Structure 1
Amino acid sequence: MDTHRLLIFREVARTESIAAAARKLGWTQPAVSQHLRHLERQAGLPLVVRHSRGIRLTEAGATLLRHADAIATRLHAAEDDMAALADLSAGTVRLAAFPSASATLVPTAMTDLARRHRGLEIRLTQCEPPAAADLVTSGEADLAVLFSHDDRPPDHGPDLQVIPLTTDPVRLVVPTGHAAVTAAEPLTVLTTTPWIAGCPGCAAHLTRTCELAGFTPDIRHSTDDYVVIQNLVARNLGVALLPQLALDAYRHPDVQVRPLGTADRTHYLLCHREALQTPSVTQTTRSLQQAAAARQKPDGLSRSRCTTPG
């Protein structure tokens, strides 16, 4: 199949419109339609179904799109390789990361890269792990910083590489002076207290943690914003679980934090296997690993102070 036509088809599939793809490519709509018809003849199957609002992929089209995404990733990697051969500090890395990592680990890594490789450009997109993983899978991002509340990150498929980064303790966050601060088993005094949950994965982890302690949490509020969560806690509107990384990014003066000891989450990097062959992605990976290592003390806890009973 013609690679050029595959990339044109990829743009049609991503925009769900021949007209929108033509505008983005700077071509005429008839020219894009002609390339699409040629590709369908080469494939021997219809790839799209046209309707009044654009196009819909057939099963063959969806299958071919996965290959087109992989080709686009390889081509982007080839561009980076050529730039690196001409100038070892050149290249662009499209990085996706969840909010607290975007506020802590990523700026540290970006500062390090800017100091050592002035020509290397990092383009950050902030999003939660499922969306960030999708960006890598589709070829829209080269590297993603993700987290998992399980011991192991999810299986992302054979084409993707999972790189361990660090563990992040999850803390109990309560209003200043709350009884849970000094309780031997802090969760046991929170069975009837309102809770504030985060993203869907974090909310599921909160529920599992409380159920292990013998109760189902009364989740009153949901927000992905760790600043909002702490402001609600400070006003005695609920309690929450927050990862230490979020508390490193922002700490409200009117909340107290208790370690739980058994509720860590795992941070890891995700990229296409081929992407690790490009110097820009390799250097970015190393800088993120160094930033993660620098935030850890010998006992495995972050620099931020936690309140402990006694």
Structure 2
Amino acid sequence: MPLDVVRLRVLVAVARTGTVTAAARELHYSQPSVSHHLARLEAETGAKLVQRVGRGVRLTEAGRLLAERGAEILGRLDAASAELAAHVGLRAGRVRLAAFPSALGTFVPAAAARLAQDHPGLDLRLMEAEPPEALRLLRAGRVDVAVVFRYGEAAPEDDGVRLVHLLDDPGLLVTPAAYGDAGDLAAYADGPWIAGCERCRAHLLALCAEAGFAPRVSFTTDDYVAVQAMVAAGLGTALLPRLALSAHRHPGVRVSELPGSDRRVYAATYGEPPDPPAVAALVAALLPQEDA
């Protein structure tokens, strides 16, 4: 028997909010209505999806599995609805973009302005997310385009994710300005380091291994403003991409480019080509402009 979309939404809401009461409030249903939909979904699937725990409920393993898949299905349905709206001459509709912080602080606003100028009827939604989370949102249909970066040693993305190269972003060694010449990685082998997101940290470890040492990471933060402030205060050395320094440059740091430390920045979409018109328009706006 086909799954009922309304009942899937109820199960996903219960999984997301944690209680029948909160799910009912979010969906604007009564609590008995939510309980009824859950019971009917269990009858339709032949699986126990929720367990009573005190005054609340807990999803079973089958319930968690169906909720996860249901979230993906509902995300794709919502995306399809937005795509159909945007298909009519790009005069209406919504397109959603997730991007990492230094992209949002540099080239994404200009791209958003170009999109608004060329397609004033499109509603662009922006969300901040590092690449792993942005790709999860993309696969679940919660965003239409994800601006992500990859290093040479990164594993390939899953099937279904298509990448359009936007730019190369050199890596910069960031040291306190008071130290004088920044030197190379090996010069800071014995000192503390400041690491960033999961992909950036893995890249730093790989570069340091090539230089013959394992860095002592004393601080971890995704905030490139905070990273530079800590470096300027003498708390450690860091590796940052040029985009981060373009978005914000602390006067108390010195930088030097590290050969072979570039990351490649992409616009990622999901699913079989061609992209919907609104998605294609957003990707085109993200590409470097000839007059830039």
Which secondary structure state, in structure 1, belongs to the residue aligned with residue 254 of structure 2?
strand
Structure 1, unpaired ranges of 5+: 296-310
SS in 2 for 1:27: coil
C-alpha distance in structure 2 between counterparts of 1:21 and 1:87, whole Å: 37
Displaced runs of 4+ in structure 1, greater than 6 A? none
In structure 2, C-alpha distance between the alignment counterparts of 1:51 and 1:287, rounded to whole Å: 50
Aligned mates of 1:48, 1:271 — CA distance in 2 = 34
Deviation at 1:198, TM superposition (A): 1.6
Instruction: Give the Å deviation of 1:102.
Output: 1.3
User: Offset at 1:85?
Assistant: 4.3
Question: Could you tell me how far apart the structure 1 residues matched to 2:89 and 2:194 are?
Answer: 49
Map of 1:243 onto structure 2: 241
Q: RMSD of aligned C-alpha atoms?
A: 2.5
Change (3 A) 1:276 1:20: farther
Q: Is the 8 A contact 2:79 2:141 kept in 1?
A: no
- Give the Cα–Cα distance (whole angstroms) in 2 for the partners of residues 8 and 23 of structure 1: 11
* C-alpha displacement of 1:103: 0.8
TM-score normalised by L of structure 1: 0.83
Q: What is the aligned partner in structure 2 of residue 233 from structure 1?
A: 231
Equivalent of 1:107, from 86, 89, 109? Answer: 109
Secondary structure in structure 2 of the residue aligned to 1:290: coil
Distance 1:64-1:221 versus aligned 2 partners, 3 A rule: closer
Quote the Cα distance in structure 1 between the aligned partners of 2:177 and 2:190: 18
Question: Cα offset for 1:152?
Answer: 4.8
What does 1:140-289 correspond to in 2, within 5 Å? 140-152=142-154, 154-156=156-158, 158-176=159-177, 178-181=179-182, 183=183, 186-273=184-271, 277-289=275-287
Code of the aligned partner of 1:114: A
Distance of 1:48 and 1:289 partners within structure 2: 47
Q: TM-score, normalised by structure 2?
A: 0.88
Is 1:69 paired with 2:90? no
In the alignment, what sits opposite 2:23?
Answer: 21
Report the identity percentage.
44
User: Deviations 1:23-57 (Å, cap 9, x if unpaired)?
Assistant: 11111011111111111111111122232364333
- Measured in 2, the distance between the counterparts of 1:100 and 1:242 equals 10
Where structure 2 has 5 or more consecutive residues not aligned to the other structure, the ranges are: none
2-structure distance, mates of 1:28, 1:143: 35
| Deviation (angstroms), 1:281 | 1.9
Local SS of the residue matching 2:169: strand
Question: Can you list the C-alpha shifts for 1:42-90, whole angstroms capped at 9, x where unaligned?
Answer: 1111122232364333332233234423332332233223322445232
SS in 2 for 1:263: coil
CA distance 1:5–1:151, shift in 2 (3 Å): same
**One-letter code of the match for 1:173?**
V
Q: 1:86 to 1:206 in 2, by over 3 A?
A: closer
Partner of 2:139: 137
Once residues 58 and 151 of structure 2 are traced to their aligned partners in structure 1, the CA distance between those partners, rounded to angstroms, is: 36
Q: CA deviation at 1:273?
A: 0.9
Aligned length: 290
1:119 paired with 2:117, answer: no
